Amino acid sequence: MSRGLLLLIALLAAVLIPSVLGGGEAWSRLGNFPLTWLLIMFGMILLCWVLNTLRLRLLLGDQRPKVGRLQSLGVVMAAEFAYCATPGGSGGPLTIMALLARNGVRPARGSAVFAMDQLSDLVFFLCALSGILIYALFQHLSQRMEWLLTVSAVSMFGGLLTCVAVARYHRSLIRVGGRLLARLNVQPTTRMRWARKLLHFLAAFTDTLKLPRLTLLKVFALTCVHWLLRYSVLYLALRGLGADLQWAWSFLIQMLSLSAGQFSLLPGGAGAAELTSAALLAPMVGKSTAAAAILIWRAVTYYFYLLVGGPIFVLMLGRPLLKKLMKIRQA
C-alpha cells in the first residue's frame, strides 16, 4: 500500500513540476503539437521493445529455446514496467530473473544476462559521451555545460573501472565481504550460501562473455539502435514544438535527468527527472517550451511504459501467484 502511494505521489509530482514551470502556455503548446509526431514517438518505443527482445534472446544463448519469442517480449515489457514503478528501478532485474526462472533459466544465468545487458548499456553511453565530448571541443560551451560533461565523463569511466575491478579482484572481494559479514554476526551457513550464489553468477557471466564474438557485436548494435531511438524522443518533442536544440544536448540532458531520477530512489525517477531536465532545458528553449517538451517526453518514455507494461506484468507474474493462493485455500 505504501509503495502504491509512493508511486501515486511520484506521478503527481512528475505532472505538477512541468505544469507549474510552463503554466497555461505549456498546455496550449501541447494542444498544437503534431499528432503524427506523437504517433512516431510511440512507434519508436514499440520498436525499442522489439530490439530489447532480440537482445535478450541473443544473450540467453543455449537457453534461448526455453523462452519463446512472445514470452521474451513479455519479459522485456514487464521488466520495463517494473523499472518505472519501483524506487531506483530495483524491480527491473528481479522481474527479469523471476520470469526467466519460471521458464527454466537458472537464477545465476538470468542475473548474468541482466549484468551483460547493463554492461552493454554502459559501453554505449561511454561511446556516446565520448562522441559528445569530441563534438563539444568545436563548440562554445557555457561553464555549466562544461561542468556537466566533465561530471558525466568521470562518473561513466568510474563505473566502468569499478566493473573491471570487481571482475579482476572478485576473490579478494569475496574474502573481505566474508570477514565483514562475520563481524556483523551473519551465520556461517548464510555466508556460504551467498558466496556460492556469487560464484555461480560469476561463472554464468563468464559463459555469457564467451558467446560468439558476432553475437556480442549484434547485442551491442541492438543496444546502440535502442538507445539512439529512445534518446531521440526529447529531441523530436522539441522539434515538434518549434525549438531548435542540437541532438547532442538533448541526449546529455536526458542522461543527466534520468541519472538524477535513479539517485532519488523515486519510482521511475518521477519528479527528480522532471526537475533536473527543467533546470537544464528552460535556459535553452524557454520555460513553456521546456515544460511542454518534458510532458511529451515523459508521457512517451514513462507513462506509456506503465500503461502498457502494467497489464503484461500482472499477467505474467500475477496469475501464477493467484493460482498458488487458490491452491493454498483449497488445501
Query: pLDDT digits over 66-83, tens only?
Result: 998 999 999 999 999 988
What's the CA gap between 148 and 322, in Å, rounded? 48
pTM of the model: 0.82
- In this prediction, the residues of the chain whose per-residue pLDDT falls under 50 are 1, 322, 324-331
List of long-range contacts for 308-313, beta carbons under 8 Å, 24+ apart: 308/77, 308/81, 309/77, 309/78, 309/80, 309/81, 309/82, 309/84, 310/81, 310/85, 312/74, 312/77, 312/78, 312/81, 313/77, 313/78, 313/81, 313/82, 313/95
| Cβ atoms of residues 230 and 44 within 8 Å | yes
Give helix then strand counts, H and E, for the chain: 15, 0
Q: Which three cell numbers stand for residue 41?
A: 514517438
The reported pLDDT for the residue numbered 329 is 42
The reported pLDDT for the residue numbered 320 is 59
| Cβ atoms of residues 251 and 148 within 8 Å | no
Q: Is 87 helix (H, G, I), strand (E, B) or coil?
A: strand
The reported pLDDT for the residue numbered 322 is 43
Q: Crossing angle, helix 35-60 and helix 69-85, to 10 degrees? A: 110
What's the CA gap between 242 and 249, in Å, rounded? 16
At 195, the amino acid letter reads A
The reported pLDDT for the residue numbered 178 is 67
User: What kind and span of H or E run contains 267?
Assistant: none
The reported pLDDT for the residue numbered 228 is 94
The reported pLDDT for the residue numbered 325 is 41
| Cβ atoms of residues 129 and 156 within 8 Å | yes
Give residue-wise pLDDT tens across range 159-197. 667 766 766 666 676 677 667 766 777 667 766 666 666
Q: Which residues contact 208 (CB under 8 A, 6 or more apart)?
A: 59, 61, 109, 112, 113, 115, 116
The reported pLDDT for the residue numbered 30 is 81
The reported pLDDT for the residue numbered 56 is 94
Q: Is 85 helix (H, G, I), strand (E, B) or coil?
A: helix
At 27, the amino acid letter reads W
| Cβ atoms of residues 294 and 278 within 8 Å | yes
